[in-house]
């Protein structure tokens, strides 16, 4: 049968790859827009420790029967900032075990099911009125499209498996020698990388072994290569994602590579052990059984399943003690000075102990808000290209969004029936201040993002620099908690005058292309909203007395530190 490479291979492979990547993007965006704090707490209970992570990865992958989908999902969660690198490594370890627990389900038609579910969740997303329902539908639609994309790629490459040249190359391999073993492992890894499913490769090898095309030892060697080739999907999934998401994919790759490299020298010894163990499951897998006048080898699939399961269990036992080493080594990959900044996604002051008494809780919220504002100012360093600044504004913005949700949740939890009117007013004002701080961070993120994606002409750069200088001055003069209220009018007038002057200079830059001048005017609009957010922040801090000032000599350098809340009524 003649294969049309364009319509039967190229079109579905490229189309499937695009749908796969789009599904990953939808899933990550939906997860990130949901209740991130609640999801993080849930995942912390499932994968808070390496042992729980391995167990969670094993059980979940055993249910969904796809280590590829599980690994891609973990990479997406890491990219969304929901799962850290350390628990992700342990979950991926468990996923390798889970996928071997149900090789009998490898023929399950997940691709058509993915298209059906993708269509259903797309309809839910379009007609839903609630943002929460929309985000859930978006995440589910993305996950379904991942399956469908993988199915398209697999279908596009299926004609290659029926070509005589391909089959003759496979049947010509033999794992009776060390060189032949390496050839089998590499071939199986390449096939798995093409069809994006180790389970599908193992299913094909089981059929080839059971029919006698491959001897049982060669078929087992192919299953070893399938575990190596399945890592290509997680690598592809991480191509356009954050550095930590890439590191999670690299953990999957390095975990399987190390396991295969350790197992290859032990392969022939393990074959003797497997032959002995097969005595408990029916006998020697190399002995044929005649069915309808034809020799078959029904025990070969059993041998492959047992070997694949114990290989992954052995791999986890071998590498589990080194999860911390994996994390430290992988954290250095792609690292630059921007990663030396503090991790702002985790609260520093909102501890359980701070919640015990209202004064300490109020102080903790103020300190955390001051920390959030200070972190937001790093966007200006990013816009200026400072080496130690966050390199990717979106990643830093995600961390600040998670932090702000924690701040607002903590502050809202302080409302209690026994609060006096004055205390309730203090708590309410802090909730409002946290919301204004989030708005300020959004505006600064917008400034950094716009500057990063635009290439300004030399004549325009002085205007952009003057705007950044003005924002920096505005942020530096913002009233820190505990300071005496400062008059707002002079700062307001200065900010308005600066924006007006810079706008006039921009309009006079006739040598600058119109699209750049338009971008500069939009940038000045963002800067104006930054000034307004700072003014609102200062006004809110003046509106309700919250803290008593500490003498300057006793005040620490960090903003918001060393402040004592007003006595409770």
pLDDT in tens, 424-477: 898 999 999 999 999 999 999 999 988 888 888 888 889 889 999 999 988 886
With b for 16 or more beta-carbon neighbours within 10 A and e for fewer, the 109-131 pattern comes to: ebbeebbebbeebbebbeebeee
- Closest by CA to 236, choosing from 401, 21, 8, 535, is 21
Mean pLDDT of 84-103: 73
Q: Which two tokens stand for residue 439?
A: 């708005």
d(CA 367, CA 291): 77
Confirm if 103 and 199 have CB atoms less than 8 A apart.
yes
10-19, 152-161, 179-188, 338-347, range with the lowest pLDDT: 152-161
Mean pLDDT of 421-426: 88
Q: Cβ contacts of residue 308 below 8 Å, gap of 6+? A: 100, 103, 202, 223, 226, 227
d(CA 430, CA 426): 6
- Closest by CA to 373, choosing from 321, 327, 440, 319, is 440
d(CA 219, CA 503): 72
Confirm if 152 and 15 have CB atoms less than 8 A apart.
yes
pLDDT in tens, 299-311: 877 888 888 888 8
- pLDDT recorded at residue 336: 57
127-136, 171-180, 219-228, 486-495, range with the lowest pLDDT: 486-495
Confirm if 444 and 529 have CB atoms less than 8 A apart.
no
- pLDDT recorded at residue 440: 93
Overall residue count recorded for the chain in this entry: 569
64-78, 362-376, 498-512, 524-538, range with the lowest pLDDT: 64-78
Q: Cβ contacts of residue 558 below 8 Å, gap of 6+? A: 370
- Closest by CA to 184, choosing from 243, 129, 263, is 263
Beta-bridge partner residues of 14:
none
d(CA 75, CA 92): 9
Q: Which two tokens stand for residue 465?
A: 């620099």
- pLDDT recorded at residue 65: 47
Report whether pLDDT(226) > 90: no
d(CA 554, CA 559): 13
- Closest by CA to 224, choosing from 335, 329, 123, 309, is 309
- pLDDT recorded at residue 439: 93
Q: Cβ contacts of residue 537 below 8 Å, gap of 6+? A: 373, 433, 436, 437, 440, 478, 479
């Amino acid at each position: 049968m003649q294969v049309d490479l364009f319509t039967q291979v190229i079109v579905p492979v490229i189309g499937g790859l695009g749908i796969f990547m789009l599904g990953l993007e939808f899933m990550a965006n939906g997860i990130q827009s949901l209740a991130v704090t609640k999801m993080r707490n849930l995942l912390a209970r499932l994968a808070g420790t390496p042992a729980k992570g391995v167990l969670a990865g094993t059980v979940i992958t055993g249910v969904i029967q796809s280590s590829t989908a599980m690994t891609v999902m973990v990479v997406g969660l890491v990219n969304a900032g929901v799962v850290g690198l350390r628990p992700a490594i342990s979950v991926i370890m468990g996923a390798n075990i889970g996928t071997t627990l149900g090789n009998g389900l490898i023929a399950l038609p997940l691709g058509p099911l993915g298209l059906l579910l993708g269509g259903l969740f797309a309809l839910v997303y379009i007609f839903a009125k609630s943002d929460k329902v929309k985000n859930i539908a978006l995440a589910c639609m993305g996950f379904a499209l991942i399956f469908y994309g993988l199915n398209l790629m697999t279908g596009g490459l299926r004609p290659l498996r029926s070509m005589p040249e391909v089959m003759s190359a496979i049947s010509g391999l033999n794992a009776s020698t060390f060189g032949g073993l390496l050839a089998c492992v590499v071939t199986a890894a390449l096939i798995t990388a093409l069809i994006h499913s180790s389970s599908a490769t193992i299913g094909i090898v089981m059929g080839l072994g059971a029919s006698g095309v491959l001897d049982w030892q060669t078929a087992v060697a192919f299953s070893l290569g399938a575990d190596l080739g399945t890592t290509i999907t997680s690598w592809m999934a991480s191509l356009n994602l954050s550095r930590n998401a890439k590191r999670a994919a690299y953990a999957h790759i390095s975990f399987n590579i190390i396991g295969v490299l350790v197992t290859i020298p032990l392969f022939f010894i393990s074959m003797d052990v497997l032959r002995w163990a097969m005595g408990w499951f029916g006998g020697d897998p190399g002995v044929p059984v005649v069915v309808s006048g034809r020799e078959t080898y029904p025990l070969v699939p059993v041998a492959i399943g047992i070997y694949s399961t114990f290989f992954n269990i052995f791999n986890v036992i071998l590498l589990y003690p080194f999860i911390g080493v994996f994390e430290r080594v992988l954290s250095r990959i792609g690292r630059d000075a921007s990663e030396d900044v503090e991790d702002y996604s985790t609260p520093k002051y909102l501890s359980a102990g701070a919640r015990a008494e209202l004064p300490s809780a109020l102080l903790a919220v103020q300190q955390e808000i001051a920390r959030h504002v200070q972190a937001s100012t790093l966007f200006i360093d990013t816009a200026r290209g400072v080496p130690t600044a966050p390199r990717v504004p979106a990643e830093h913005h995600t961390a600040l969004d998670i932090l702000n949700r924690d701040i607002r949740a903590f502050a809202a939890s302080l409302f209690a029936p026994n609060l006096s009117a004055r205390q309730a007013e203090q708590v309410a004002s802090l909730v409002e201040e946290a919301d204004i701080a989030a708005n300020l961070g959004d505006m600064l993120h917008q400034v950094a993002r716009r500057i990063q994606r635009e290439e300004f002409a030399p004549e325009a750069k002085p205007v952009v620099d003057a705007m950044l200088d003005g924002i920096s001055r505005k942020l530096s003069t913002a009233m820190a908690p505990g300071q005496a209220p400062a008059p707002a009018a002079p700062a307001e007038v200065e900010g308005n005058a600066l924006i007006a002057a810079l706008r006039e200079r921009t309009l006079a830059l006739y040598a600058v292309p119109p699209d750049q001048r338009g971008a500069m005017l939009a940038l000045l609009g963002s800067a104006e909203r930054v000034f307004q957010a700072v003014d609102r922040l200062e006004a809110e801090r003046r509106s309700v007395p919250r803290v008593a000032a500490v003498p300057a000599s006793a005040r620490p350098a960090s903003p918001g530190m060393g402040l004592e809340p007003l006595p409770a009524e």
